[in-house]
Amino acid sequence: MKSVCILGSTGSIGVSTLDVVRLNASNYKVVALTANKNIQLLKQQCVEFNPMFVVIPDADLAEQFERSIQQSELDGISVLSGKESLEFVCQLEIVDVVVAAIVGAAGLLPTLAAAKAGKVLLLANKEALVISGDLLMSAVSENGATLLPLDSEHNALFQCMPAAYRTGEPVKGLRRLILTASGGPFLHASDEELSRVTVEQACAHPNWSMGQKISIDSATMMNKGLEVIEASYLFSVDADDIDVLVHPQSIIHSMVDYIDGSVLAQLGNPDMRTPIAHALSWPDRQPSGVSALDFILHKQLSFEPPSIDKFPCLRLAYEALKAKGTATTILNAANEVAVDNFLNNKISFTDIPKLIEKTMERSEVKTVDSIATVLLADAEAREQATTCIGLIK
Ligand code: NAD
Ligand code: MG
């Protein structure tokens, strides 16, 4: 029986994780759940999974939640507030597995805490790795943690690696990693159409149902850019050896091209419960609730190169990865500010890459020597990006 802590249990990945746990209930004990705002769903999850701890960072919401469970069967649950409580539950002695499914930079410190505590760390929160890169990878190796990717592409790549493979180790005999990309909802949109994209259109992904931020990232292809960076750190592969291939059906989740001419791919229906089930039970297998792939139904798998001109975010991510240091921290912070402003109708869809590029031009890249450097670079880049909004109009 594995004891699990789920950071961001009310989000898309959190809910899918609990689906897999429900299906394999005798193998898991849910110890801690955390949520930012949706305390109603958190309460339902508590009724079903009876955790020992819940964390709600906001003190008022935590108090509201605590009042709502008084004198109910949930009365025994410890309700914690404050951001540092997210780190506390990740480091509990009884926790074996931490599922890092908070969105954005807010997940960085708890993810790092789980690595430092030597946990089995199931990483969905790609931003944490993009921001902190080598720091997170070193925390994993120095503390005997096990880092397993939940992102479907990286989970696919991991499955295509040699059996004893560990993330963070160079892969022997590798020619290149091929990250597949659906291309998002605007794969064949004209420049004119792109400039008029609404929030609703950008959130409507053709193949995957996901949280709002990653849906926008998929539409701009920044998601693939962040994934190139994520792959570089996870598998110790240089930017030049990571290719992106548009594959609109999202059936092949990624591929590893070896020097002997073999290409290994992982296929499946596009449903995050597959990588989640894989990582939760690794190195064994368990049911995920995902139906078997019907090859006859998917008669055609097609491929095309990504358009860097149409989706500059992909180019910016490669540039940041090659620049090293805090460049990827700056890229991520600028993207989070840009997406936020797009969601609030303050900038247009095509302003997103412009704002990121302007922020990168005006930010100084530093060597990453400590978490303090990373947090400072993140804060400065957010400030810079906010200033740059007035410069891209
Ligand atoms: P989501 O918006 O659906 O859920 C985010 C979760 O994080 C929620 O539980 C929310 O309460 C919590 N959260 C948000 N802000 C927080 C804050 N400031 N402090 C503490 N908790 C906070 O997002 P999602 O789609 O589940 O994505 C989660 C992460 O997984 C992202 O990093 C995303 O890139 C990655 N990911 C998601 C998918 C997917 O299919 N949804 C696929 C691959 C990777
Ligand atoms: Mg992905």
> Each residue of 135-167: pLDDT tens digit?
999 999 999 999 999 999 999 999 999 988 999
Fold topology of 324-393: Rna Polymerase Sigma Factor; Chain: A (1.10.1740)
pLDDT of residue 207: 83
pLDDT of residue 205: 81
Region(s) of the chain under CATH 1.10.1740.10? 324-393
Region(s) of the chain under CATH 3.40.50.720? 2-149
* Best CA proximity match to 35, nearest among 3, 68, 58: 58
208 band by pLDDT with thresholds 50, 70 and 90: confident
pTM beyond cutoff 0.75:
yes
**pLDDT higher than threshold 80 for residue 393:** no
**Any idea which ligand is nearest the CA of 126?**
1
Instruction: Specify the CATH number for 2-149; select among 3.30.200.190, 3.30.1450.10, 3.40.1010.10, 3.40.50.720.
Output: 3.40.50.720
Query: Cα angle at 171 between 170 and 173, to 5 degrees?
Result: 130
Q: Which of 7, 9, 10, 13 to mutate to test the pocket of ligand 1 (most atoms within 8 A of CB)?
A: 13
**Interatomic CA distance for residues 108 and 387, integer angstroms:** 24
Kindly state the average pLDDT of the residues 351-380: 98
Does residue 73 sit in helix, strand or coil?
coil
Q: What are the pLDDT digits (tens) for 297-307?
A: 998 999 999 99
CA atoms within a 13 Å half-sphere pointing along the CA-CB vector of 28: 25
Ligand 1, atom 16: closest residue by C-alpha: 36
pLDDT of residue 285: 98
**Any idea which ligand is nearest the CA of 12?**
1
CA–centroid distance, residue 101 to ligand 2 (Å): 13
**Interatomic CA distance for residues 50 and 46, integer angstroms:** 5
**pLDDT higher than threshold 90 for residue 67:** yes
> Do residues 223 and 314 lie in contact, with contact meaning Cβ atoms separated by under 8 Å?
no
**pLDDT higher than threshold 80 for residue 279:** yes
10 Cβ below 6 A of ligand 1? yes
Give 246-275 as a DSSP string. Answer: E-TT--EEEEEEETTS-EEEEE--S-THHH
151 Cβ below 6 A of ligand 1? yes
Mean per-residue pLDDT of the chain: 97
- Give the percent of the chain with pLDDT over 70: 100
CA–centroid distance, residue 126 to ligand 1 (Å): 10
282 by Cβ neighbours in 10 Å (0-12 / 13-18 / 19+) ranks as middle
- Give the percent of the chain with pLDDT over 90: 96
351 band by pLDDT with thresholds 50, 70 and 90: very high
> Do residues 128 and 116 lie in contact, with contact meaning Cβ atoms separated by under 8 Å?
no
DSSP state of 292: P
209 band by pLDDT with thresholds 50, 70 and 90: confident
pLDDT of residue 71: 83
184 Cβ below 6 A of ligand 1? no
